[in-house]
């Protein structure tokens, strides 16, 4: 029973990352009709936003402390981050420690800007081109973004630790301990998904976007500049991917190819959920996450060796062949 609960938690946790990335992908596909292979790169850039913020906060100056000496007998050089000298060691230290949650605030404008410039500068010209061309150009873009990050940050993973209060493990029930940050990630994902859905469901802006997803031409005929709103949606999707990346940092240290690693899986998730269906993407994300973690239980592996490695792809193949539209795909979208 404990193992069961633990695997469900693991699954929800894995699933929340899948769901967040797939949500962004589906937003882009549903609104703009573009298959974005650079979405994994956006996730990766998000993670590097928190690396950047961490570096900015750790900018420091050196002072010489004459009262102490280092092991060579020279006066000890003390590095003090500027933040600490401005806000005092206590507040400053706390700011540095909480750099990952703070990076959320930092990442939103950055990701919006990247999303806007990507859509206006590149994707816009690919609406009328075939899907294969869109896949190829965004694949190229993903390589470029990845290499730029690699150039500036190096090829090694960079740790972005969670704040002390949110790291460590929590005792959930008798005999069940679970890392706190993973629980935080799950609730964060739920919050983001809820916010996106609420935005689309309860605001006028969201209503127009949904109308545009259903029938772009008619909305255009009503005199609404749907392109402008869709650009904004691209920015939103980029931010969702970016935030998923920021919060993922403490779970897995960011490296430049983390985007590519997630990309394939998130595409599988989108297809299983049904192209263009937002609830489908979220559902499939959690579903595949849970399936994957159950498949990696010891009992299952001894029964069917290697199943944990391939379960997601296996499910995707079965679903694609039996339910052509995916779990919740709408009729007429990419059939």
Partner 1 sequence: MFGLDKKDTSLLALVAILTLAAPFILNPFPTNSGLAQFNAGYPDLMQRFVIFGIFAIGFNILFGLTGYLSFGHAAFLGIGSYSAVWMFKLLSMNIIPAIILSVLISGIFAVVIGYISLRRTGIYFSILTLAFAQMSFALAYSVLTPLTNGETGLQLTLEDPRVLGQSATADGSIPVTNLFGAEMRSSFDMVVGPWSFTFSVGYYVCAIAMLLAFYLAIRIFRSPFGMMLRAIKSNQTRMNYTGLNPKPYTLAAFVISGMYAGLAGGLLASMDPLAGAERMQWTASGEVVLMTILGGAGTLIGPVLGAGMIKYFENIFSKINDNVLHGWFSFMPDGLEDLVVTIIHPFVGKGWHLTLGIIFMLVVIFLPGGLVEGGQRIAKAFRGKKADDNKSASTEPAE
Q: Number of residues in contact with partner 1, rule: CB under 8 A? A: 36
Cβ–Cβ under 8 Å, residues 26 and 277: yes
Give least dist CB 282 to partner 1, A.
Answer: 19
Give least dist CB 218 to partner 1, A.
Answer: 23
User: Contacts with partner 1 in 186-225 (CB under 8 A)?
Assistant: none
Spatial distance between the Cα atoms of 17 and 241, rounded to a whole number of angstroms: 9
Q: Is 141 in the site for partner 1 (CB under 8 A)?
A: yes
Cβ–Cβ under 8 Å, residues 39 and 268: no
Question: E-strand spans in the chain?
Answer: 60-69, 75-81, 169-173, 176-179
Q: Centre a 10 Å sphere on the Cβ of residue 124 and count the other Cβ atoms it contains.
A: 15
Among 64, 78, 144, 172, binds partner 1 (CB under 8 A): 144
Cβ–Cβ under 8 Å, residues 53 and 103: yes
Q: Is 168 in the site for partner 1 (CB under 8 A)?
A: no
Q: Using CB under 8 A as the criterion, what x/- string covers residues 86-125 for binding partner 1?
A: ------------------------------------x--x
Minimum CB distance to partner 1 smaller for 305 or for 332 = 305
Q: Is 297 in the site for partner 1 (CB under 8 A)?
A: no
Among 137, 226, 281, 282, binds partner 1 (CB under 8 A): 137
Spatial distance between the Cα atoms of 61 and 67, rounded to a whole number of angstroms: 18
Q: Is 153 in the site for partner 1 (CB under 8 A)?
A: no
Spatial distance between the Cα atoms of 234 and 217, rounded to a whole number of angstroms: 19
Spatial distance between the Cα atoms of 288 and 310, rounded to a whole number of angstroms: 11
State the residues that interact with partner 1 by CB under 8 A.
35, 122, 125, 131-133, 135-137, 139-141, 143-144, 146-148, 151, 260, 264, 267-268, 271, 275, 305-306, 309-310, 313-314, 316-317, 320-321, 324, 334
């Amino acid at each position: 029973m404990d193992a069961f609960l633990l695997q469900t938690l693991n699954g929800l946790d894995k699933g929340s990352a899948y769901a967040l990335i797939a949500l962004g992908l589906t937003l882009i596909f549903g609104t703009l009709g573009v298959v974005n292979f650079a979405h994994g790169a956006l996730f990766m850039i998000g993670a590097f936003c928190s690396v950047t913020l961490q570096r900015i906060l750790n900018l420091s100056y050196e002072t010489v402390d004459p009262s102490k000496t280092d092991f060579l007998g020279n006066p000890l050089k003390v590095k003090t981050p500027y933040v600490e000298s401005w806000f005092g060691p206590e507040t400053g230290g706390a700011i540095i420690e909480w750099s990952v949650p703070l990076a959320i605030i930092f990442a939103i404008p950055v990701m919006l800007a990247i999303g806007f410039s990507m859509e206006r500068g590149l994707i816009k010209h690919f609406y009328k081109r075939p899907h294969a061309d869109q896949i190829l150009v965004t694949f190229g873009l993903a390589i470029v973004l990845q290499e730029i990050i690699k150039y500036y940050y190096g090829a090694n993973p960079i740790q972005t630790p969670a704040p002390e209060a949110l790291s460590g493990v929590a005792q959930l029930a008798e005999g069940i301990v679970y890392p706190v940050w993973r629980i935080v990630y799950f609730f964060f994902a739920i919050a983001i998904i809820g916010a996106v859905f609420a935005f689309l469901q309860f605001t006028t802006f969201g209503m127009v976007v949904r109308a545009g997803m259903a029938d772009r031409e008619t909305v255009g005929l009503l005199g609404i500049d749907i392109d402008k709103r869709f650009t904004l949606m691209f920015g939103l999707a980029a931010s969702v991917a970016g935030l998923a990346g920021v919060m993922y940092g403490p779970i897995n240290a960011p490296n430049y190819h983390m985007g590519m690693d997630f990309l394939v899986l998130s595409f599988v998730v989108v297809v299983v959920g049904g192209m263009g269906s937002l609830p489908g993407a979220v559902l499939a994300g959690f579903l595949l996450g849970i399936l994957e973690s159950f498949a990696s239980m010891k009992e299952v592996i001894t029964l069917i060796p290697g199943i944990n490695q391939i379960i997601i792809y296996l499910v995707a193949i079965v679903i694609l062949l039996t339910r052509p539209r995916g779990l919740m795909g709408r009729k007429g979208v990419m059939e």
